[in-house]
Amino acid sequence: MPAPARPRPATPAATTTTAVAYDRYGPPDVLAVTQVPMPVPGPDDVVLAVEAVAVSRAETAFRAGDPPLARLATGLRRPRNRVLGGDVGGRVVAVGERVIRVQRGDRVVAQTGIAMGGYARHVRVPAASVVPVPDGVGTHEAVALVEGGSTALPFLRDHAHVRPGTRLLVHGAAGAVGAAAVQLAAHLGADVTGVCGPDHVALVRSLGAATVVDRTVTPVERVRGTFDVVLDAVGASSFRRCRHLLAPRGLYLTTVPSAGILVRTALRPLARGRTAAIAFTGLRPAADKASDAVHLLGLAADGAVRGVVDRTWPLEEAAAAHAYVDAGHKAGAVLLLP
């Protein structure tokens, strides 16, 4: 039954807000500061004053229009959604007339999904995607944790079925997905080996990895040990290169698509022995993502996991943030602070 209507609260008085937009695919400097209409909530939406928005690897790929196949989703000739930004945190400043769960002033995170729009001082999001940030958890930290955790959690829980004693190797253990995966798996009682570059060894150890391997000394395929699950969080290896690391019924998971992994994923129900698969966590229903965000932020409030923030930039310096993410060596999240 629809919620009873109630008077629409005042929306912000300004008619425009500042955003960073792009009108063509290309290098980071295609991003430009601009004014866009102040978002107004639909009946089931809220508007946030954005305090932090993550700059994800997917977003820098969208900006570049590379791989070109991704343009089927983002726009063939030019970007369909001019303003990127999918993982946001901030204060609710306006709520739609049917929204009863969220109030003005609430400190929240939200995942905007394919609509994006978070590289802005204000963004409209569906109320169903909004999750309160618990006391004791910073908004920046919450955005960082939800960015990586929303992928790491379903990979570990729904695909790897990690439980106490699972022998797990995480490749790319310092990235947004990897840093969350190491912490969540350690919290679940797994025996975690993290593989990362030399600058991130101490960080990955502090996140709960029992063993940390510097990939510049020992490439992932030469790591010693046998694993129930190998999770390549950055898509820098392959099933073929890592197969020998797996236990007889072990599973290789990757976050990054290739023709080979798509075929293996499709054939997995028929496969025996060691198998491999990819999942696409961004395509899950908004309600599932919101429920996972509640879980992740609850763990953060309990001190079991934390959001890792590498660097922050003012919104106006989004191009610099994109160049840093493009370089491929961030630890945890890069955030824009509108």
**Nearest approach, Cβ of residue 52 and ligand NAP (Å):** 16
Strand partners for 188: none
Burial group, residue 235, by CB count within 10 angstroms (0-12, 13-18, 19+)? middle
- Residue with token string 């955003």: 19
Helix (H, G, I), strand (E, B) or coil at 325: helix
Kindly tell me which of 167 and 289 has the beta carbon lying closer to ligand NAP. Answer: 289
> 10 Å Cβ neighbour count for 330?
22
Token couple for 216? 């510049």
Alpha carbon distance 272, 263 (integer Å) = 15
Kindly tell me which of 103 and 206 has the beta carbon lying closer to ligand NAP. Answer: 206
Kindly tell me which of 85 and 175 has the beta carbon lying closer to ligand NAP. Answer: 175
Q: H-helix or E-strand containing 287?
A: helix 286-301
Token couple for 38? 């102040």
**Nearest approach, Cβ of residue 109 and ligand NAP (Å):** 16
**Nearest approach, Cβ of residue 227 and ligand NAP (Å):** 16
**Which residues are near ligand NAP by CB under 6 A?**
56-58, 148, 151, 171-172, 174-178, 196-197, 200, 215, 233-236, 255-256, 279-282, 325, 328-331
- Residue with token string 């960073």: 20
Helix (H, G, I), strand (E, B) or coil at 172: coil
Kindly tell me which of 130 and 196 has the beta carbon lying closer to ligand NAP. Answer: 196
Kindly tell me which of 82 and 330 has the beta carbon lying closer to ligand NAP. Answer: 330
**Nearest approach, Cβ of residue 120 and ligand NAP (Å):** 21
Q: H-helix or E-strand containing 1?
A: none
**Nearest approach, Cβ of residue 96 and ligand NAP (Å):** 29
Q: How far is CA 162 from CA 132, 181, 182, 184, 242, in A?
A: 27, 11, 11, 10, 19
In the complex, which residue's CB is closest to ligand NAP? Answer: 175
Kindly tell me which of 110 and 234 has the beta carbon lying closer to ligand NAP. Answer: 234
What DSSP designation does 120 have?
B
**Nearest approach, Cβ of residue 280 and ligand NAP (Å):** 5
Helix (H, G, I), strand (E, B) or coil at 302: coil
Alpha carbon distance 262, 258 (integer Å) = 6
- The amino acid present at 244, given as its one-letter code, is H
Kindly tell me which of 7 and 67 has the beta carbon lying closer to ligand NAP. Answer: 67
Kindly tell me which of 225 and 328 has the beta carbon lying closer to ligand NAP. Answer: 328
Kindly tell me which of 36 and 233 has the beta carbon lying closer to ligand NAP. Answer: 233
Helix (H, G, I), strand (E, B) or coil at 156: helix
**Nearest approach, Cβ of residue 77 and ligand NAP (Å):** 23
**Nearest approach, Cβ of residue 105 and ligand NAP (Å):** 31
What is the signed CA dihedral for 25, 120, 101, 304, rounded to 10 degrees? 80
Alpha carbon distance 53, 89 (integer Å) = 6
**Nearest approach, Cβ of residue 246 and ligand NAP (Å):** 18
Alpha carbon distance 108, 112 (integer Å) = 13
